[in-house]
Structure 1
Amino acid sequence: MDRRRARTREALLSAGRTLFSVRDVDGVSVDEIVAQADVAKGSFYNHFADKDVFAREIVSAVRRQAEQAVDMANEGIEDPAEQFARALCMFVRFAIEHPESARVLWRLHSGATMADAPINRGLRAIVERGIRTQRFKHVDVESGLLLVMGIVVIALRHVLEERLATPASSVATRMAAGMLRALGIAPAQAEKIARAAVGDLLSHSGT
């Protein structure tokens, strides 16, 4: 891809992230996207078949960005409980450091809740390992996966609120501990794991 074409594509994607962070896909027109990107309307269709394809590419890129941060935070961590606590902390941190992208993730995350969806392969593997090793109890793969995704997404959305009554680090600690308890981790251990994850990953994020 030549430089000019690449710049046009990135301008469109950047415009889409901005617009989709405040409105759903149906509430944004192609005309608004190209106006925000400051490119000709025909340029949009040179890069994307339609608005839905465009939106899927944006949310996939944003989710990859967040998941790469989670992967880095979990490098060398083997305990599924620690992995999920640290993942929640990184999504909270993502909301603090990249609020526009986090809002896109929140608004356009529909359709990503199926246990067998390719985009959930990594999360599913952690749930399966936790159940297989009896680290997680009283859940099956689907309910465990939905539990984790639900709590993480709500934590991310809550941190995006402009006026938080409770510091984000405290929210992350409580929600991570609650998530682990729901997965069958003993309360004292869940609290210990959650506090360690927050101390390691959120202590320097202005939270």
Structure 2
Amino acid sequence: MAQPKAGPSRRLTDRRRARTREALLSAGRALFAARDVDGVSVDEIVEAAEVAKGSFYNHFTDKDVFAREIAAAVRRQVEQAVNDANKDIDDPAEHLARALCVFAHFAIEHPDSARVLWRLNSGATMVDAPINRGLRDVVHNGIRSQRFRHVDLESGVLLVMGVIVIVLRHVLEERLVTPPHAVAANMAAGLLRAMGIANAQAARLSAAAANDLLQSA
């Protein structure tokens, strides 16, 4: 049996719900960029979103579920940007250099989301965490092909994540002495050297990634 078409009243209600949900998520991103989850109350969230408190619980079970949804959405956003930048890249070393530059660019273009990224992704340092699947695959492929020689899987994944977090936080500083594209290029080169890539090649791959993805940022 065919489902009845939604009437104008139903469509209006759905649009209002969607606007309320997006207002809550936008307010949450801004608040969690400045403070950890425990430092933000539901009252602050609904006040910033300019919605009734009951609306929050119409969409989210509690604040932790709300925070996890925001964190997951930001992570998907930046991971998609990394995938887009690396869609034609087969070399694991070049992939990592370009991924680091994408994260730096993301911090420049979306500073609140970048702050949320490192504040809310608890458990992200566990190598087997689902959110690390893509990175784990790149590092694994690099080790298997002997492109990466100085690390095992766990230390390689942790090394990449640590460098990316430092670059993110540094780019978000109010006063930068070194331009972001130079910071990203230098840090990417250091990361690749730590993974076993020769100095000259690490520098070349990292400079090319920064010039391609960050020079105009």
TM-score (norm 2): 0.93
Aligned residue number for residue 49 of structure 1: 61
> Is the aligned partner of 1:198 residue 2:210?
yes
Deviations 1:101-149 (A, max 9, x none): 1111121122111111111000000000000000001211110000001
- Measured in 2, the distance between the counterparts of 1:94 and 1:72 equals 13
Distance of 1:20 and 1:117 partners within structure 2: 22
Greater C-alpha Rg:
2
1:142 to 154, 174, 187: 154
Cα deviation digits, residues 88-107 of structure 1 (max 9, x gap): 00000000011111111121
- The Cα of 1:199 is off from its aligned counterpart by 0.8
- Provide the rounded CA distance (Å) in 2 between the counterparts of 1:138 and 1:102: 29
CA distance in 1, matches of 2:53, 2:69: 18
Give, in whole Å, the separation in 2 of the partners of 1:204 and 1:167.
11
Alpha-carbon distance in 2 for matches of 1:106, 1:121: 17
Look up the equivalent residue of 1:20 and give its one-letter code: F
Q: 2:116 aligns with which of 104, 116, 131?
A: 104
CA–CA separation in structure 2 for the residues paired with 1:12 and 1:105:
17
Rounded Cα–Cα distance in structure 1 between residues aligned with 2:123 and 2:15: 34
Deviation at 1:166, TM superposition (A): 0.9
> Where has structure 1 moved over 6 Å in runs of 4 or more?
none
Matched letter for residue 38 of structure 1 = E
**Structure 2: segments with no counterpart, 5+ residues:** 1-12
After TM superposition, the structure 1 = structure 2 runs for residues 61-76 of structure 1, keeping only pairs within 5 Å, are 61-76=73-88
User: Partner residue of 1:9?
Assistant: 21
Letter in 2 for 1:153: V
Aligned residues: 205
Q: Does 1:89 align with 2:80?
A: no
Match of 2:188 among 159, 176, 186: 176
% identical equivalent positions: 74
Give, as a single letter, the amino acid of the residue that structure 2 aligns with 1:175.
M
Amino acid at match of 2:36: D
Q: Indicate the residue corresponding to 2:3 in structure 1.
A: none
Structure 1 residue ranges without an equivalent (≥5): none
Match of 1:60 among 63, 72, 90: 72
